Amino acid sequence: MPERTAVIGSAQGLHARPAKIFVHLAAQQPVPVFIRVGDGAPVPASSILGVLSLGAAQGTEVVLSAEGDGAAGALETLAGLLAGDLDAEEPDHV
């Protein structure tokens, strides 16, 4: 299963607003995507409760994984989103 590491760039981490933006974009991907912190259990990236349960603060390294046609593109898109500061401005893709 392809994986991609990303570092949370939002000043407040993946709290409610950034998590909502991330989950919304994850749900639009052509493959199911999962996210985990460290060696923790992966949660569906399209689940707001799962993403919030990670408790990912700014600077936290997360691992995204997906499998199937379009997995690499989905991981690239979502990793790029997480690296930005989702608190700073409204992203173009939402």
DSSP secondary structure string for all residues of the chain: --EEEEE--STT-S-HHHHHHHHHHHHTSSS-EEEEETTSPPEETT-HHHHHHT---TT-EEEEEE-STTHHHHHHHHHHHHHS-TTTS--TT-
Question: Which residue among 15, 27, 48, 87 is the active-site one?
Answer: 15
Q: 93 catalytic, yes or no?
A: no
The catalytic residues are: 15
